[in-house]
Chain A
Amino acid sequence: MSAKSRLNNFKSFIKKPHNIILIVLFVVLGYLTLVPLMTIIVDTFSVHSSEARFVKQPVGSFTLYHWNKMFASGVTSQKTFYEPFLNTMVVAFLSCVMAIAVGGFFAWTVTRTNIRCKGFISTVFVFPYIMPAWTLAMAWLNFFRNSRVGGAPGLFTVFTGIETANWFAYGLFPIVIVQGLHYAPFAYILIGGILRNMDANLEEAAMLLHANRWQITRKITLPIVKPALLSTFLLVFSSTMSAFAVPAFLGSPVRYQVLTTQMFRTLNGMNPGYGYIMALIMIVIGVGILMLNQWITGRRKSYTTITGKSSNISLFNLRKARTPLTIVLVTVLVMVAILPLFSFALESFIMAPGNYSFSNFTTEFWIGAGRADIANSEPGILRNPSIWLGLTNSLKLSVIVSLIAGTVGMLAGYSIAKRRGSKLSTWVNNLTFFPYLMPSMAFGAIFLSMFAVRRGFIPALYGSFWLLVIVGSVKYLPFASRSGINAMLQLSGEIEEAGTIMGIGWFKRMTRIIFPIQKTTFISGYLLPFISCMRELSLFILLVSPSTRILTTLLFQYNEKGWNQYANAINLMIVVIVVSFNLIVNKLTGASIDKGIGTN
């Protein structure tokens, strides 16, 4: 090829907007994801200032100290790594099983039986996923904490007089229940999506060939849903593995440690090197899971695109079980999705925890001016300037992050879909998904160390609001880019080409043709980052400074101080904001979170 034609090739490559987007994303995301990864690796081998005394080497020099301590130092390794690691795996595995069992059962019941109240069930069932993960954890404590560990007894003990056992109130059991319920909607959306799109003819064909209900379920439906089940399992596994808030709330009272809680201790304390190793291990597991998932969905028998006339699915007649089962499911939903909110409201009006008599009710924690004898004269929620600051920060942060992540994700989806199959597109696709696999806290920690100092033209960002914005935008990009890719893949390329031929410019094509057609999916790409950001704790917990504190970190602080009523009140506030925002957007635009995570 002559130099001239090579130049011309380059010119025509650069003329296409999607190529420019891909290159820009490649550079920026490469910097914001791969550099942190390298930093993590380097950090595990270098001496940190807080450790210089033990290691007896200058700060920043090469050392195997952390690796050695973590893996090959007898009891220390056992306590700091092996035990939490094992706990993490057990928690993640059992939570997955729980999530899939609950979510799958609800999905099957709603799509395949003649159960009543389908609308109510499918609306309310996603609440636990929209609400912050610790919502249920706090509710659990409100109900079941016992006086041996938790001080004041919970509602259950007060009303029944039965003291809950430690294993029931804290540690593995409630963590699995709470995480399982939190991720059950995820399973519900993925499995329900497959069941809904599955061609009913496949089941009818089996019925005509003399298979009974049970045989059809076992030999036809389950095998077809299996890849989705596995995908769900893997995705939920990687999410629960890196979850911090729930184990922190439910595990720490009985010192039940998992990798994330250990990471928080070490990153926040004397041994960041340990934390980075744990982060690295979680990233490796995450990448492994992603590869496994791609291998499973890409195999010979793969049948990701099952479509057909499924309008006339013959529903399984529950007969006499119809009404009882409806009542059971609705009751479970009310207990999981609605009752917690009441418990927050209730707890926030109680003066002395554990005493639910009428005289103990107070509005002090909402509108009080602050009394010297409780909580260091902290004023009530609605008169508390630091809460208002947190609320404004949270909203501001979530809106900006969702705008950035949503828009970048949409452009990324557009460009990736346009150039599907090319190397560049595959790279950018993986880069946009990579933040999903990074444990939030480690991600936060890395950005903290990366941007604490001036980097090229980027000023030192420590304590700055913009640091939170960058971290949030990168972390939630996967959600938005998934929606973007989905939206674009559903859209035939000819639609845009028709515009190109008529001489309509790129910007106008995007805003006047592509966006309006796939509006709901794109808006879902904005919705998910907003909701995630509103309820995020572990990503920001290491990054906030007093002036940039947000609601979730405030809640965590109050909870650590044991100011239960404040924590409950803030939690109620977050849940109400997130849930109502989701419902409003859903009603106005038709966008919903399941459109965002629908086909990970």
Chain B
Amino acid sequence: MPKIELKHVTKRFGKFLAVDDLNMIIDDRAFVTLLGPSGCGKTTTLRMIAGLETPTEGIITINDKIVFSSEDGIDIPPDKRDVGFLFQNYALWPHMTVYKNIAFGLENLKWSKDDINKRVVELLDMLKIAEFSHRYPSELSGGQQQRVAIARTLATGPKALFMDEPLSNLDAKLRMEMRTELKRLHRETDSTFVYVTHDQLEAMTLSSRVCLMKNGYMQQYAPPLDVYRRPINTFTADFVGSPNINLIHGSVESVSPLVFSLPGDIKLGFDPIEKMNLEVGQKIILGIRPEHVAIAEDASMVEATILSSLPSGMETIVQLKMGDSHLHSVIFGDLDFDVEKKVGLAFTSGKFNLFDEESTNNLGQGRLKKA
């Protein structure tokens, strides 16, 4: 069964380092997302696994079979790797009908006409595009083209399916629909999915594991909620979650009891739930998820001023000024707040991540309390 393994994979384009010493194991039947800002090397990584791009160094194995090794000069062509690839712009062949597009791969495998017909019809039904089978791609909408592309990729039954930002050309409503569809397909086809996106919401909602990349480096490789709860550094903390996590710079005022001094003469106490070594005066960054900022009249830990209030019905995003730092809060329910009003803030629920300012790495978790 297809387990995909990358060992020390590096890709250089001239002097530009696209992917740097990447090590990763993609388990069988996993749904792994490569997530990161544009130019971080995620598409290159995917194309290297598929065999469309040749790594500069490293070893790639699919299903315990080495498909690429720079040492041993192995480079198995893409069509022998038994993988499917879904392109960002679908890459449907404009001169073939929907039916022909889907049948093409099967014809190359020398399937009989009847078998091809059976399989194509099955896929047309599965993706609900049977009525378009004799149309040309230019006569389909974006969402329909997307389905054809998926059907074409699935036709030959690849054990690993690679997708390069497949939903980025669709509108918001269709994207939502296709996300559900992809999750269903993942379950039904029983294959390994590797998915490239820059949309953290897609990564969070779809995948079983997220690989966060930046400038060719892998930053964190973990299940999405783990990344959300315990980001390994400020980059991954900031990349995941909407609205973004509040990253408040400050320094250690005293070690026992542990008190942080935040800009604008704000003091907050911190109860570590794991061991961490801090010194007085050390610069830190405190990570506070917006949903953990509660607006409370009484029992408040600190004072703040409301800068803006953006109610959307189900929730309201409030921008606040606490001392000299700004932070976002998400309040659930159809509430609105008066701008300029002074309120108290409480950080009673949730665990809070502490980062070192210099290295940006996670130092550990703890709870906030009144100083």
A306 lies within 8 A of B108 (CB): no
B89 lies within 8 A of A215 (CB): no
* Stretch of A141-149, A204-212, A415-423 with 4 or more beta carbons under 8 angstroms from chain B: A204-212
B276 within 8 A of A: no
B84 within 8 A of A: yes
B91 lies within 8 A of A204 (CB): yes
Which residues of the other chain, B, contact A220 by a CB distance below 8 angstroms? 93
Cα-based distance from A215 to B110 in the complex (angstroms): 13
- Using A202-B93, A303-B95 as known contacts, say yes or no to A209 and B152 having CB atoms under 8 A apart: yes
B52 within 8 A of A: yes
Q: Which of B52, B79, B95 contacts A211 (CB 8 A)?
A: B79
B105 within 8 A of A: yes
B85 lies within 8 A of A308 (CB): no
With both chains docked as a complex, state the minimum distance between the C-beta of B177 and any C-beta of chain A, in angstroms: 23
- Using A210-B156, A303-B138 as known contacts, say yes or no to A312 and B94 having CB atoms under 8 A apart: no
- Residues 76-96 of B, flagged 1 when their CB comes within 8 A of A and 0 if not, give 011100011101110101110
Cα-based distance from A211 to B105 in the complex (angstroms): 7
Closest A residue by C-beta to B53: A312
- Residues 87-113 of B, flagged 1 when their CB comes within 8 A of A and 0 if not, give 111010111000000001100110000
Which residues of the other chain, A, contact B79 by a CB distance below 8 angstroms? 207-211
With both chains docked as a complex, state the minimum distance between the C-beta of A413 and any C-beta of chain B, in angstroms: 26
A314 within 8 A of B: yes
- Residues 188-214 of A, flagged 1 when their CB comes within 8 A of B and 0 if not, give 000000000001011011111111000
Cα-based distance from A309 to B50 in the complex (angstroms): 17
- Residues 288-318 of B, flagged 1 when their CB comes within 8 A of A and 0 if not, give 0000000000000000000000000000000
Q: Which of A205, A206, A207, A306 contacts B77 (CB 8 A)?
A: A207
B132 within 8 A of A: no
Q: Which residues of B contact A (CB under 8 A)?
A: 47, 50, 52-53, 77-79, 83-85, 87-89, 91, 93-95, 104-105, 108-109, 136, 138-139, 152, 155-156
Which residues of the other chain, A, contact B77 by a CB distance below 8 angstroms? 207
Number of A interface residues in the complex (CB < 8 A) = 26
Cα-based distance from A309 to B165 in the complex (angstroms): 13
B89 lies within 8 A of A209 (CB): no
A-B contact list, 6 entries, CB within 8 Å: A208-B79, A210-B79, A210-B108, A210-B156, A211-B79, A224-B93
Cα-based distance from A209 to B93 in the complex (angstroms): 13
Cα-based distance from A306 to B90 in the complex (angstroms): 12
A201 lies within 8 A of B108 (CB): no
- Using A199-B89, A201-B89, A314-B52 as known contacts, say yes or no to A209 and B95 having CB atoms under 8 A apart: no
- Using A223-B95, A224-B93 as known contacts, say yes or no to A207 and B87 having CB atoms under 8 A apart: no
Which residues of the other chain, B, contact A309 by a CB distance below 8 angstroms? 88-89
A205 lies within 8 A of B95 (CB): no
Pick the 5 closest A-B CB pairs, nearest first.
A209-B105, A201-B91, A303-B94, A210-B108, A223-B95
With both chains docked as a complex, state the minimum distance between the C-beta of B147 and any C-beta of chain A, in angstroms: 15
A301 within 8 A of B: yes
A300 within 8 A of B: yes
Q: Supply 16 further A-B pairs (C-beta < 8 A) apart from A301-B138, A312-B53.
A: A199-B91, A204-B85, A205-B85, A206-B93, A208-B78, A208-B79, A208-B83, A209-B108, A215-B108, A219-B104, A224-B95, A226-B95, A300-B138, A300-B139, A309-B88, A309-B89
With both chains docked as a complex, state the minimum distance between the C-beta of A506 and any C-beta of chain B, in angstroms: 37
A294-315 interface with B by 8 A CB criterion: 300-303, 306, 308-309, 312, 314
Which residues of the other chain, A, contact B47 by a CB distance below 8 angstroms? 312
Cα-based distance from A301 to B134 in the complex (angstroms): 12
Closest A residue by C-beta to B138: A303
Which residues of the other chain, B, contact A209 by a CB distance below 8 angstroms? 79, 104-105, 108, 152, 155-156
Which residues of the other chain, A, contact B136 by a CB distance below 8 angstroms? 300-301
Which residues of the other chain, B, contact A306 by a CB distance below 8 angstroms? 94
**Most interface-central of A205, A211, A226, A312 (chain B CB within 10 A):** A205
Which residues of the other chain, B, contact A199 by a CB distance below 8 angstroms? 89, 91
Which residues of the other chain, A, contact B85 by a CB distance below 8 angstroms? 204-205, 208
With both chains docked as a complex, state the minimum distance between the C-beta of B86 and any C-beta of chain A, in angstroms: 9
A207 lies within 8 A of B138 (CB): no
Cα-based distance from A297 to B122 in the complex (angstroms): 34
With both chains docked as a complex, state the minimum distance between the C-beta of A355 and any C-beta of chain B, in angstroms: 56
Closest B residue by C-beta to A203: B91
With both chains docked as a complex, state the minimum distance between the C-beta of B50 and any C-beta of chain A, in angstroms: 7
Q: Which of B78, B139, B152 contacts A204 (CB 8 A)?
A: B78
Closest B residue by C-beta to A209: B105
With both chains docked as a complex, state the minimum distance between the C-beta of B152 and any C-beta of chain A, in angstroms: 7
**Most interface-central of B79, B84, B85, B91 (chain A CB within 10 A):** B91
Cα-based distance from A126 to B311 in the complex (angstroms): 63
With both chains docked as a complex, state the minimum distance between the C-beta of A297 and any C-beta of chain B, in angstroms: 13
Cα-based distance from A211 to B47 in the complex (angstroms): 18
Which residues of the other chain, A, contact B155 by a CB distance below 8 angstroms? 209
Cα-based distance from A220 to B84 in the complex (angstroms): 18
With both chains docked as a complex, state the minimum distance between the C-beta of A152 and any C-beta of chain B, in angstroms: 54
B50 lies within 8 A of A208 (CB): yes
Closest B residue by C-beta to A206: B104
**Most interface-central of A209, A223, A300 (chain B CB within 10 A):** A209
B87 lies within 8 A of A205 (CB): yes
Cα-based distance from A223 to B52 in the complex (angstroms): 23
Cα-based distance from A273 to B95 in the complex (angstroms): 47
- Residues 279-323 of A, flagged 1 when their CB comes within 8 A of B and 0 if not, give 000000000000000000000111100101100101000000000
Which residues of the other chain, A, contact B89 by a CB distance below 8 angstroms? 199, 201, 308-309
Which residues of the other chain, A, contact B156 by a CB distance below 8 angstroms? 209-210
Q: Which of B50, B84, B95 contacts A301 (CB 8 A)?
A: B95
B91 lies within 8 A of A224 (CB): no
A211 lies within 8 A of B91 (CB): no
Q: Which of B53, B84, B91, B139 contacts A202 (CB 8 A)?
A: B91
Cα-based distance from A201 to B87 in the complex (angstroms): 7
Which residues of the other chain, A, contact B52 by a CB distance below 8 angstroms? 204, 207-208, 312, 314
Which residues of the other chain, A, contact B93 by a CB distance below 8 angstroms? 202, 205-206, 220, 223-224
Which residues of the other chain, A, contact B94 by a CB distance below 8 angstroms? 224, 301, 303, 306
Which residues of the other chain, B, contact A312 by a CB distance below 8 angstroms? 47, 52-53
Which residues of the other chain, B, contact A210 by a CB distance below 8 angstroms? 79, 105, 108-109, 156
A492-518 interface with B by 8 A CB criterion: none
Cα-based distance from A202 to B87 in the complex (angstroms): 9
Which residues of the other chain, A, contact B95 by a CB distance below 8 angstroms? 223-224, 226, 301, 303
With both chains docked as a complex, state the minimum distance between the C-beta of A429 and any C-beta of chain B, in angstroms: 23
With both chains docked as a complex, state the minimum distance between the C-beta of B197 and any C-beta of chain A, in angstroms: 16
Cα-based distance from A219 to B95 in the complex (angstroms): 9
Which residues of the other chain, A, contact B87 by a CB distance below 8 angstroms? 201, 204-205
Cα-based distance from A122 to B79 in the complex (angstroms): 33
Cα-based distance from A178 to B5 in the complex (angstroms): 58
Cα-based distance from A187 to B60 in the complex (angstroms): 43
Closest B residue by C-beta to A211: B108
Which residues of the other chain, A, contact B108 by a CB distance below 8 angstroms? 209-211, 215
Which residues of the other chain, A, contact B139 by a CB distance below 8 angstroms? 300
Closest A residue by C-beta to B47: A312
B138 lies within 8 A of A308 (CB): no
With both chains docked as a complex, state the minimum distance between the C-beta of B80 and any C-beta of chain A, in angstroms: 9
Which residues of the other chain, A, contact B109 by a CB distance below 8 angstroms? 210
With both chains docked as a complex, state the minimum distance between the C-beta of A226 and any C-beta of chain B, in angstroms: 8
Which residues of the other chain, A, contact B50 by a CB distance below 8 angstroms? 208
Q: Which of A215, A224, A226, A302 contacts B138 (CB 8 A)?
A: A302
Cα-based distance from A215 to B53 in the complex (angstroms): 21
Closest A residue by C-beta to B109: A210
Which residues of the other chain, A, contact B105 by a CB distance below 8 angstroms? 209-211
Which residues of the other chain, B, contact A215 by a CB distance below 8 angstroms? 108
With both chains docked as a complex, state the minimum distance between the C-beta of A303 and any C-beta of chain B, in angstroms: 4
Closest A residue by C-beta to B149: A205
Cα-based distance from A204 to B152 in the complex (angstroms): 13
- Using A204-B52, A205-B91, A223-B95 as known contacts, say yes or no to A211 and B104 having CB atoms under 8 A apart: yes
Which residues of the other chain, B, contact A314 by a CB distance below 8 angstroms? 52
Cα-based distance from A554 to B84 in the complex (angstroms): 66
With both chains docked as a complex, state the minimum distance between the C-beta of A305 and any C-beta of chain B, in angstroms: 10
